[in-house]
Amino acid sequence: MNKPDMIETTESAVGPSPSSDEQASDWRIALPELVGRRVILREPRAGDASALFSLLATEEVSRFISPPPATVEGFERYVGWTQRQRVAGQYVCFAIVPAGADAPIGLIHIRALSPAFLTADWGFAIGSEFWGTGAFTEAAELVLEFAFDALGIHRLEARAALCNGRGNGAMKKLGAEREGVLRHSFVRDGEFLDQVLWSILQDDWRKQQEKAPRGKRVVH
């Protein structure tokens, strides 16, 4: 899980949650929990490393992303790195945890591409046994709401290997716009791969949420 690229490509919260203004001012100190029906998103912990390694280091999950850490210790170092980058205001990373569980099943990160997080990119990886369960879609929608409300992102980009049908399908389902193909922009196992560039603008996301049925809007 090379820091930049990771793509595999909600209803009600439990108890009171901080306002967008509170999240915007506090996320550098500690990430809030984002709560949905199926999943809870929280900051990764060093103790998550073993679960993350077993789920995300498989060939099925990692074949279209930057190579993840090769050991449990590598995941521990990655978790520490994400926390330092959050404090610096450059990066946020959420662990995806099924409701009622403790161990994470995947990760979603956002990386600043410009000052004040006006432009950023994001990536994600989730264990293959949880594909098609709805866990990823809910987690992604929670992160999008956080990105546009708390971080104040205007433009959020993603890149998925052209041959990664699942990843590109996920972007389309989330309402992202396909902007073009970046030729030979990604190297995996010595092979150059084309990537699709996707983007979601804050205004487009807002309009999408306004049109969504009330029960499907993201609340946290």
| Mean confidence (pLDDT) of the chain | 87
What are the distances in angstroms from CA 93 to CA 59, 81, 125, 170?
22, 10, 11, 19
Give the CA count within 13 Å in the CB-facing half-sphere of 48.
25
pLDDT in tens, 123-162: 999 999 999 999 999 999 999 999 999 999 999 999 999 9
What is the CATH T-level fold of the domain 20-152, as seen in this structure? Aminopeptidase (3.40.630)
Name beta bridge partners: 125. 107
- pLDDT at residue 51 above 50? yes
Are the C-beta atoms of 160 and 204 separated by less than 8 Å? no
- pLDDT at residue 53 above 80? yes
Give one DSSP letter per residue of the chain, joined into a string. --SS---------SS----HHHHHHHTTT-PPPEE-SSEEEE---GGGHHHHHHHHSSHHHHTTSSPPPSSHHHHHHHHHHHHHHHHTTSEEEEEEEETT--S--EEEEEEESSGGGSEEEEEEEE-GGGTTSSHHHHHHHHHHHHHHHTS--SEEEEEEETT-HHHHHHHHHTTPEEEEEEEEEEEETTEEEEEEEEEEEHHHHHHHHHHS-GGGS---
pLDDT at residue 26, as a whole number: 87
Mean pLDDT in residue range 16-26 = 50
Query: With bands split at pLDDT 50, 70 and 90, how would you rate the model's confidence at 212?
Result: confident
Rounded distance between C-alpha atoms, residue 85 and residue 188, angstroms = 25
Where in the chain are the domains? 20-152
What percent of the chain has pLDDT above 70?
Answer: 85
* 122 dihedral zone (left: phi>0; alpha: psi -120 to 50; beta): beta
pLDDT in tens, 61-106: 988 888 889 999 999 999 999 999 999 999 999 999 999 999 999 9
How big is the CA angle at 207 (ends 124 and 153), to the nearest 5 degrees?
45
What percent of the chain has pLDDT above 90?
Answer: 75
218 or 211, greater pLDDT: 211
Rounded distance between C-alpha atoms, residue 138 and residue 118, angstroms = 23
pLDDT at residue 4, as a whole number: 36
pLDDT at residue 214, as a whole number: 53
Cβ neighbors of 144 (< 8 A, separation 6 or more) are 156, 174, 200, 205, 218
- pLDDT at residue 218 above 80? no
Are the C-beta atoms of 124 and 107 separated by less than 8 Å? yes
